[in-house]
Structure 1
Amino acid sequence: MNKHDLENKKQEWLDLEFEDEKSENTIKRYECAVNKFLKYIPDGEVTKATMINYKRHLIDTYSPKTVNNEIVIINKLVKYCESNIDDLSRLKRFDSKLAVKNIKVQEKASIEDVITKEEYKRMLRMAKKKDEMDMYYIMRILGETGIRIGELKYFTIESLRKGPYITVRNKGKTRDIIVDTKLRRELISYAEGTGIDEGKLFDVDYMSVYRGLKQVAGQCRGIKLSKIHPHAFRHLFATRFMEQIGDVTELKDILGHSSLDTTSIYSKSTKKQKKKHLDEMWKNG
């Protein structure tokens, strides 16, 4: 197998992943990772050494989490080309000679740089002040439901009128999102006030929301812009849920995680909280 084979098979493999109902954002991420890989590796035969050298390049360039995400994607393409298997469930079991291992990442003992409740409220006030009501309600939805940005498309006027449960489909799984009564009424009123009588409330993509959030945060003095992104509001929802409810199993179902291990990070305190707890512990001698 050589680089030319990979280039020729790339779209075929992406189509297969699309037919497996991967989300649009996932397919874009796959394509971006593969294009970077193909641009980096030399022409000619693709060997284990090629794969290891690319892995080393990733380690020198990206965070461990990003490295592992990229490795998973590249391994998928290589296994597809190497095996000629067009069934994804069988492809997972294929023993590739070229695939490289993920790097070991130490489990985090704390979650850091999570947007705070106070910062969230400041951003909401700023969006309202600037009459950026689309961003105001997008932040409300993200912060009060914990959805992924790709699930925003399921917030239609029809689904909101039906009741408090909105059915979303993501990563091959279906779950119901619970929308607070007050927020649901406000969203319906907002939609009707802006002339939306059918379909999606917001016609946006990840990057437009990302830029909008950065702009709102930039107008609020003292908010660290590096921690402002769409997924930050999902983290905010999860940490607040654990503070107030404390049931990690229930949170797993709400967020739609496949594994409890993914959700369990939200049961851990931040370093700042750990320090506060220790200070209180020794406060009285």
Structure 2
Amino acid sequence: MNEFELHLKKMGLSKNTIQSYLFAVRYFTSNYEINLESVLEYKGYLIEKFKPKTVNLRIQALNGYLKFIGENDLCLKALKIQQKNFLEDVISHADYLFLKRKLKNDGNLKWHFLVWYLGATGARVSEIIKIKVEHVHVGYFDIYSKGGKIRRLYIPKRLKNETLKWLAGEKRTTGYLFLNRFSEQITARGISQQLKFYAEKYGLEKNVVYPHSFRHMYAKRFLEKFNDISLLADLLGHESIETTRIYLRRTSSEQQSIVDKVVTW
């Protein structure tokens, strides 16, 4: 990081800009890996948490770092103030079900349930890793954010009951729900890596199989089943309902499919 800081100074950037760049890059390198799935997840995180201007500043900082280390292909596109009228890099419901089924059929119940939780709770990966067995028993997980706000993450009834059966077979009654191979709390980075592995193993598009993609899918499916955008905003923990409005849009592949069917003239 010292070399990158020196690089920024040589570029003649102001002290404040350099500090802003370093802050953004340190956050990324502390929480994400340097690969396509991670930078896309990071972009999703930024879009949910900050205004477009701030998002673009963070993207600009990360892109500067990626170019500095020779990872130009991973650079992100800045947000346009006028957002696109379609979603990108979202796992389809069919692929979600396929992945869940393959994992179960292979006897990989931990990852079967982890994918299920990602797709059926709308949780961020940073929240998934904090869910405990005790939360499953009560059926929800309360998340406390800055400013004293509380968001309740609900565990659907079917998922709760199936999880309890799995835990009974594992003879687990307490502690974090998802553990790594050392029986310790799994990490967000570990989840991202493993999802990439399973995407490749089962022949899925790797660019849509990353933790935040399942959150996008959850939001789209929820609105299709229950068209209440205000409730969805609360469930996702969005401070502004404007952030949630993106899920009213279709993915680019869905738009293409509709056009192919409708436009026959």
TM-score w.r.t. structure 1 length?
Answer: 0.64
Residues 273 and 168 of structure 1: CA distance in aligned 2, closer, same or farther (over 3 Å): same
3-state SS in 2 of match to 1:114 = coil
In structure 1, the residue matched to 2:190 is 208
In structure 1, the residue matched to 2:116 is 140
In the TM superposition, 1:33-44 aligns within 5 A as 38-42=5-9
Measured against aligned partners, the alpha-carbon deviations of 1:106-147 in whole angstroms (never above 9, x if no partner) come to 412110221011111111122123322211111101100100
Task: Give 1:265 deviation, angstroms.
Answer: 0.7
Residues 192 and 218 of structure 1: CA distance in aligned 2, closer, same or farther (over 3 Å): same
The separation in 2 between residues aligned to 1:36 and 1:130, in whole angstroms, is 46
The separation in 2 between residues aligned to 1:36 and 1:184, in whole angstroms, is 49
2:125–2:211 Cα contact (<8 Å) kept: yes
Structure 1: gaps (5+ residues): 1-33, 74-101
Number of aligned residue pairs: give it: 214
- Aligned to 2:125, which of 149, 162, 167? 149
Residues 109 and 183 of structure 1: CA distance in aligned 2, closer, same or farther (over 3 Å): same
In the TM superposition, 1:34-113 aligns within 5 A as 38-42=5-9, 47=14, 67-69=56-58, 105-113=81-89
Measured against aligned partners, the alpha-carbon deviations of 1:203-248 in whole angstroms (never above 9, x if no partner) come to 2111110111111111212x21122111111011011112222221
Structure 2: gaps (5+ residues): 26-38, 47-54, 63-77, 179-184
Residues 187 and 39 of structure 1: CA distance in aligned 2, closer, same or farther (over 3 Å): farther
3-state SS in 2 of match to 1:41 = helix
In structure 2, the residue matched to 1:126 is 102
Residues 68 and 171 of structure 1: CA distance in aligned 2, closer, same or farther (over 3 Å): farther
The separation in 2 between residues aligned to 1:36 and 1:69, in whole angstroms, is 19
3-state SS in 1 of match to 2:250 = coil
3-state SS in 2 of match to 1:42 = helix
Pick 1 or 2: higher relative contact order, CA cutoff 8 A, min separation 6: 2
When structure 1 is superposed on structure 2, of 266-275 and 243-252 the one drifting more is 266-275
Q: CA RMSD in A?
A: 3.4
Q: Tell me, yes or no, if structure 1 residue 224 matches structure 2 residue 200.
A: no
3-state SS in 2 of match to 1:176 = strand
TM-score w.r.t. structure 2 length?
Answer: 0.68
The separation in 1 between residues aligned to 2:153 and 2:16, in whole angstroms, is 46
1:177–1:254 Cα contact (<8 Å) kept: yes
Calculate percent identity across the aligned residue pairs.
27
In structure 1, the residue matched to 2:158 is 182
The separation in 2 between residues aligned to 1:107 and 1:165, in whole angstroms, is 33
2:230–2:241 Cα contact (<8 Å) kept: yes
The separation in 2 between residues aligned to 1:50 and 1:151, in whole angstroms, is 31
Radius of gyration: which is bigger?
1
